[in-house]
Amino acid sequence: MTNEPAVAFEAASKAYGPVRAVDGLDLAVPPGETVALLGRNGAGKSTAIGLLLGLDTPDSGRVRLFGGAPAGAVAAGRVGAMLQEGRPVPRVTVRELLTFVARTYPSPMPVAEALALAGLTALADRRVERLSGGQVQRVRFAVALAGNPELIVLDEPTNALDVEARQEFWDAMRGYARRGNTVLFSTHYLEEADAHADRIVVLDSGRILADGTGEELKRAAGGGLVAFDLAGGPTEWLGTLPGVTSVEIRGDRARLRTDDSDATVRALAARDAIRSLEVAPVSLNDAFLALTHKPAAALKEPEPTR
Ligand SMILES: Nc1ncnc2c1ncn2[C@@H]1O[C@H](COP(=O)(O)OP(=O)(O)OP(=O)(O)O)[C@@H](O)[C@H]1O
């Protein structure tokens, strides 16, 4: 391993006519990190991934993989990818397919190892067209592993999978990441980004809106919510409390947004204004909305877990 980032976007831009799909993107991913690219439809995730894999070239700036041009890293098998478009399912077994793909790489991962990592050992002799959607997605993951890559790039890998298939997919991905490999995946799902990535990069209109852990995004979006009963008390002083960024009064209940819940609660307690006190962290969903300033309808959420 070198000290080079696994992935580096350096002021990379790509426009389609008037649309700046990727707009001056600067992003470095060190080896071993799992990063989620989070954004709404059209945020620029797939375009960024296309640039990263050398499928497209930036209009300006550049993209480097392990310190070199993407095409070199891809040809050497250092990068595996799972893109969105589904290819027709071949009429061969899982093992046959993987064996065939592995032969196209200079130093492939042993087929049995790719099968195990993708959770497909028991399905190795099943024909691909007889698998479920979730299993096919893991076959695509195994195909991406065939070249024994150090970096894997996944464009919305769990789209259209049910909860169980999603969990199985992420288990497979984590097994790969635990070996010290780098993962970059795109998603619309906040919970998936939070649960499976070390770092979340929020993209909007081809630019980075936020970059950090789920916790950091929540903090950046304004910490928490403190609510309590006013019990007929005055309200004009609430906005001056430490940490408070906004005040909302509904009936006899005050709801304060704060970037320092602890300080806000201490100040309220000093005034004995803690009747039916409620303190809640800002949700990741709220954080994302605050960052993108878009209505909730623009977001997709995964189905609730069982
Ligand atoms: N080949 C293309 N020709 C014209 N416009 C394009 C092309 N590819 C992408 N765009 C536009 O660039 C912008 C970014 O699209 P991109 O597919 O990268 O977003 P995304 O975040 O991956 O969205 P999704 O979540 O829907 O996959 C969008 O406005 C899209 O319409």
pLDDT 10s digits, 94-134: 999 999 999 999 899 999 999 999 999 999 999 999 998 88
pLDDT at residue number 295: 43
Domains assigned to the chain: 7-211 (3.40.50.300), 222-281 (3.30.70)
Give distance in angstroms: CA of 188 to centre of ligand 1.
14
Mean per-residue pLDDT, 40-58: 93
Measure the CA–CA gap between 66 and 267, rounded to whole angstroms.
51
Measure the CA–CA gap between 198 and 146, rounded to whole angstroms.
24
Is the pLDDT reported for residue 139 higher than 90? yes
pLDDT digits (tens, 9 = 90+) for 200-258: 999 999 999 889 998 888 777 667 889 999 988 888 889 999 999 889 999 999 999 88
Give distance in angstroms: CA of 126 to centre of ligand 1.
36
pLDDT at residue number 293: 64
Look at ligand 1, atom 11, and give the residue with the nearest C-alpha. 21
Ligand 1 lining (C-beta closer than 6 Å): 16, 19, 21, 39, 41-47
Mean per-residue pLDDT, 150-173: 90
Q: What percent of the chain has pLDDT over 90?
A: 63
Q: What number is the ipTM of this complex? A: 0.95
Give distance in angstroms: CA of 171 to centre of ligand 1.
29
pLDDT at residue number 68: 94
pLDDT at residue number 189: 85
Mean per-residue pLDDT, 10-33: 96
Give distance in angstroms: CA of 180 to centre of ligand 1.
31
For the chain, strand residue ranges (E) read: 7-16, 19-29, 34-38, 60-65, 79-82, 151-155, 182-187, 199-204, 207-212, 224-229, 244-250, 253-258, 278-281
**Residue 90: band (very low, low, confident or very high) from pLDDT cuts 50, 70, 90:** confident
Strands of the sheet containing 151-155, edge to edge, are 79-82, 151-155, 182-187, 34-38, 199-204, 207-212
Look at ligand 1, atom 8, and give the residue with the nearest C-alpha. 47
Give distance in angstroms: CA of 21 to centre of ligand 1.
6
Task: Indicate which atom in ligand 1 lies nearest the CA of residue 44.
Answer: 18
